[in-house]
Amino acid sequence: MNVLNSFALLANGEALDWNQIPEYSLSDFIRNVSEELELGARMVSFFALPEGSEKRLVAVLALDSSSVLCVSRSQPFSGSFPSLTPKYPEAHLFEREIYEQYGLLPLGHPWLKPVRKNLNVIQDPKNFFSVEGAEIHEVSVGPVHAGVIEPGHFRFQCDGEEVLHLEIALGYQHRGIEEALLGGPHRLSVYQIETIAGDTTIGHSSAYAQALEALAGVQAPLYALWVRAIALELERLANHTGDLGALANDVAFIPTSSACGKIRGDFLNLTALLCGNRFGRGMVRPGFSPIDCEPKRLALLSDRFEQTLRDALQAVGWFWDSASSRARFEQVGSVETSMAAKIGLVGLAARSCGLVRDVRFDHPTGWYRFAQVPLAVWPDGDVFSRAKVRWLEMQHSGEFLKEQFNSPPEPESAEKITRLAPDKLAVSLIEGWRGEICHVALTDSEGRFRRYKVTDPSFHNWMGLALALRNQAISDFPICNKSFNLSYCGFDL
């Protein structure tokens, strides 16, 4: 039997009737999902939801090369399910999350711990992997770190300077976003979506808008899609510029670090020129565009953008011209391509390991169906590679934006979305600056959210940082960490 028959197929940004999604007994469901993963599908989302007194599992997989997503669900059950993790490590955190959120036990999971809620269990020293031996020492850092940065707890098992193992414990930023969305959309929902990760406001609000449009059966006007693409690429440029500056700072290359700190702000100010807020709050709303950028403002935006982009490329260029700084990034914090694929890395971290993986390219929606951004991939998997991919993406997004500023579609009026269709499931992917953002929304018989599953790219990628540290000098942790620059709040929800 073709395994794909056991899944419902849909494209990114589409919705399906809940009862169109094939339903299998737990063991068949798990078998189908593993067969599909075996054939090369990628796990995009995997979560549980309550069904009467029992629970049900839902899996969303991506077939990137054919631009298709597939969904399947298990029949309701209770107790436990066979863990996919031993064979498909990319499932590891999803299964831990299912265990924490709904108490379903993934049997055979090699490292079963809560993810973000049960902090007492998460941060109990007993529950960390530890290496024994007379020469071994443990370094424990956080949750409060030395800089102005979010909280998280890191435990390094070290042999002298060398890190043998790093375990990352998160959850400190947990503020109950998924729970709050239940029964929504509420008046506050869109604001909570915008603040899942403040530096990815556009990414998450675009995923939300796209999901709601699919559930309401509404097409957003072209103008709204154009605004979203511009905002998304500006967000990427601001963050990549900031990250390259921060990386330069960590190897004490001050010219790039100083200039990028300021230029990042210049990009944020361009976002503010569009919507009044540096982080893009209020810029993206389901169904329409709250922004109408009149020609005069567009001309100003376009002028300032060219200047800012020139400044940014120049400032980062200084770094690439400095051989001794460049050398600090080479062969540090490497993740092998095969490992990156196994643990399901996404976004720039995946592309820096040579994986061709970008929602804008594999599952294009919105404006990206009409205008393409070239993919940036670099094979080495090290800090250098992650810096390089950012640098390439800055240039690509820069060229893309210059073109888009010249071709705004006509603003059209559109209705706000007031009602969502009942009993539908929508999958919405957006390539945020860190990588794939996935929102899966399921409505109940009243058209309210019965489940709203958010997966920030950081959810996939924190494991990448942990692996990048293996056999590295602990003093290289800062540059490894900055080269990923993952979100704590996006993970903690």
Partner 1 sequence: MLKMFGRSLKLRQVSAGGCNACEADINVLGTIGWDLGRFGIQYVASPRHADGLLVTGPVSKNMELALKKTYDAVSEPKIVIAVGACAISGGPFANHEQVRSGVDAILPVDLYIPGCPPHPLTILDGLLRLLNRLDKQT
Residue with tokens 């706000």: 416
Binding to partner 1 (CB under 8 A): which residues in 191-210? 191-192, 194-199, 201
Nearer CB in complex with partner 1: 9/272: 272
How many other C-beta atoms lie within 10 A of the C-beta of residue 55? Answer: 20
Q: Does 198 bind ligand SF4 (CB under 6 A)?
A: yes
Smallest distance, Å, CB 116 to partner 1? 8
x/- mask, partner 1, residues 336-375, rule CB under 8 A, reads ----------------------------------------
Nearer CB in complex with partner 1: 175/402: 175
> Please, how many CA atoms are within 13 Å of residue 34, restricted to the half-sphere of its CB?
14
> Please, how many CA atoms are within 13 Å of residue 196, restricted to the half-sphere of its CB?
34
Ramachandran assignment for 43, one of left (phi > 0), alpha (psi -120 to 50 degrees), beta (any other): beta
Q: Among 89, 143, 183, 408, which residue interacts with partner 1 (rule: CB under 8 A)?
A: 143
Smallest distance, Å, CB 279 to ligand SF4? 7
Q: Does 149 bind partner 1 (CB under 8 A)?
A: yes
Identify any residues that bridge with 9 across adjacent strands, giving them in sequence order. 70
Smallest distance, Å, CB 192 to ligand SF4? 9
Helix runs in 217-294, H state only: 222-250, 254-275
Tokens of 34: 């593993």
Rounded Cα–Cα distance for residues 395 and 29 (Å)? 44
Q: How far is CA 399 from CA 206, 313, 421, 467, in A?
A: 22, 12, 39, 34
Nearer CB in complex with ligand SF4: 188/300: 188
Nearer CB in complex with ligand SF4: 195/302: 195
Q: Does 183 bind partner 1 (CB under 8 A)?
A: no
Residue 5, Cα to own-chain centre: how many angstroms? 29
Stretch near partner 1 under the rule CB under 8 A, chosen from 70-78, 172-180, 385-393, 470-478: 172-180
Q: Does 277 bind ligand SF4 (CB under 6 A)?
A: no
Q: Does 303 bind partner 1 (CB under 8 A)?
A: no
Residue 481 interface partner, choices partner 1, ligand SF4, none, CB cut-off 5-8 Å depending on type: none
Q: Does 18 bind partner 1 (CB under 8 A)?
A: no
Extended strands (E) in 151-242: 153-159, 162-169
Q: How long a stretch of residues is the chain? A: 493
Smallest distance, Å, CB 281 to partner 1? 7
Q: Which of 248, 150, 245, 144 is nearest to 199 (CA)?
A: 150
Nearer CB in complex with ligand SF4: 22/198: 198
Q: Which of 96, 231, 79 is nearest to 169 (CA)?
A: 96
Residue with tokens 């935006």: 301
CA diameter of the chain: 70
Q: Does 127 bind ligand SF4 (CB under 6 A)?
A: no
Binding-site size for partner 1 (CB under 8 A) equals 42
Catalog residues that contact partner 1 under the rule CB under 8 A: 116-117, 119, 143-144, 146-151, 171-177, 179-180, 188, 191-192, 194-199, 201, 258-259, 261-262, 265, 278-279, 281, 487-489, 492
Binding residues for ligand SF4 (CB under 6 A): 195, 198
